[in-house]
Each structure stands twice: as C-alpha cells, then as structure tokens.
Structure 1
C-alpha cells in the first residue's frame, strides 16, 4: 500500500519542483530584461488513469488550455560588464584629460569645478575624478570647501580665490 502512495508523492514533488524552477527562471529573465515565450512541457504521465463517468459530457474545445501568443524575440544586449565599460577612457586619454585640466587650472586664477567643467567640455564626474587625482599628485591645490572650493596651481592662489568667492556671495 505504501508503494503507490510513495510514487504519487514523488511525482507531485517532482512536478512542484519543476514548476518552481520554471517560475524562478522566468522571474530572473524578466528582471534582466530578457522576455521569452513560456515553454510548454509535455503533460506528466499519470500513475492511475481515472475515467470520467459515461454520463459526463466531454469538455468543450474552448475550455482547453490555450498556448500563449508567441512574442517577437527579445533584443540581445551586451552583458552589463561590457556596457558599463564600453566608454571607459584609455590610459592615454585619461593622461591627456589630466594635462588639459592642469592647463586650464594654470591659466585661470582659482577656478570652481563648474568653470573647469565648462572650459574643458568634460562631465562633472570626469572633472571631479581628475581634480582628485591631480590633488593627490600635488599638481593642483584646493582652497575652500563646498560651493566656495576653488582650484589653482598654488595653495595661496586657491585660498585667495575661495575668499573672493565667499565675499562675492555675501555682497
């Protein structure tokens, strides 16, 4: 008596685990932006065949399971690691950008990040990263903080430009 019960239980667990795995896979693919049409599995074999009573009408054709409409294949995109680093500058480009920013700061009289950004044509993030590198190398200096931060080739010039920016804001 335990044999049929064990077989039926094993079949239910197997079906449940397959369905759960399919649902998890579909969820992950949706989160990644990859939509696939649901795959149909063959109907599982039943261990015991039960026939309907002869008086029961057959199910109408419209109530049968329908297939999901097929979708156009999802657009294949490059892996995230390739997309994220596709526009990363080379070492030579980064060195040229650093030199350009040093020239801009050297020609100015204590410049803010926004002024350097406008003159260089680089993004705020690129300018900030370059300024941090140049400060760490001791090639430029920063005077003041936050909105009054100014960059120059000497500490005295940077501090003076920051004080002037503060006075201008107070007036």
Structure 2
C-alpha cells in the first residue's frame, strides 16, 4: 500500500520541481530582457496559489487557499550611478558660496564645533567638513583640538582656547 503513495509522491515532487524550474527560468529571462512574459493573462502577482493535495488523489480532498504576497514597491528604472553622482554634485559657484557662508559663520563665532557649524549653516556634515578643509587649506580658519573636541576659529589661539574649554566642560 505504501508503493502507490511513494510513486504518487515522487511524481508530484518531480512535477513541482519541473514547474518551479520553468518558472525561475522564465523569470530570469524576463529580467534579463531576453524573453517577454507570456501574452496570456498572468495571475495576480500579489496572490500565491497553494495546493494541499493533487487533484488526481481521490482519497484526499482538494483545497486551494490564497496567501497575500508581501507588498512591494513597483520596480523603477534608476539612472546609472555616474549620472546620479553628477546630478548630486554642486556647481563650482554653489560650492564657493557654501565655503563663504561657513567662513562667515566661523568668523562670527568664537571656536565652533562641526555640529554647531552644521546647525547654523543648514548644510550636511559632509558639506561642512569639505568646506572646513578647503578653508583650512587656504589658511582662512584654524582648528584647535582633535576629534570631538575640535573647534574652528579665525585664529589658532581662539581655536585652541575653545577646544580647551570644551575639554574642561566634558571633564566636569
């Protein structure tokens, strides 16, 4: 009695694996653009059919349930990385304006941290860091201290003093 069951189970597994392999192949080919999806009406991609037993088995009742597939955002076509990078880059004039704005902020303050400059300017941390590096290279601002105690000012003495005060404030 076990042999008809084993044969039927083997046939079911074999059919399932062939169908699965065919579906994966078709999906990959469509993804690569080699083969288009069939012209027939495709089932709703948000539902997945689950069969508990084959239709040919008289002893087991056939039942069909549907599960909701997880919601996924529709596929979008993105521009190549080089175009996205170039689109996000500021122009020379915008960069120069940002550097001047940060120079004014540092000049008006008495030893500011990167976070303080970031909040006052409204620029991102990377933009502020880039502008501070350019200003330091030009000799227009000075940095005192390191890491979290780094402070920026128009003179080296003011930057060192602000860093020292920040270090003392952290120790207290």
TM range (shorter): 0.5 to 0.7
- Write 1 or 2 for the structure with the bigger share of strand: 2
Following TM superposition, by how much is the alpha carbon of 1:85 offset from its aligned partner in structure 2, in angstroms?
A: 1.8
Normalising by structure 1, report the TM-score.
0.59
The 5-angstrom pairing of residues 71-150 of structure 1 reads 75-150=76-151
Following TM superposition, by how much is the alpha carbon of 1:38 offset from its aligned partner in structure 2, in angstroms?
A: 5.0
C-alpha contact (below 8 Å) 1:142/1:158 kept by paired residues: yes
Following TM superposition, by how much is the alpha carbon of 1:76 offset from its aligned partner in structure 2, in angstroms?
A: 2.9
The 5-angstrom pairing of residues 51-70 of structure 1 reads none
Following TM superposition, by how much is the alpha carbon of 1:37 offset from its aligned partner in structure 2, in angstroms?
A: 5.2
Aligned residues: 115
Q: Which runs of 4+ in 1 moved over 6 A?
A: none
Structure 2: where are the runs of 5+ without partners?
Answer: 1-24, 44-73
Following TM superposition, by how much is the alpha carbon of 1:146 offset from its aligned partner in structure 2, in angstroms?
A: 0.4
C-alpha distance in 2, partners of 1:75/1:125? 28
The 5-angstrom pairing of residues 13-52 of structure 1 reads 35-36=31-32, 39=35
In the alignment, what sits opposite 1:14? Answer: none
C-alpha contact (below 8 Å) 1:35/1:74 kept by paired residues: no
C-alpha distance in 2, partners of 1:105/1:169? 22
C-alpha distance in 1, partners of 2:88/2:102? 20
Structure 1: where are the runs of 5+ without partners?
Answer: 1-22, 28-33, 41-66
C-alpha distance in 1, partners of 2:33/2:80? 21
- Give the match's secondary structure for 1:110: coil
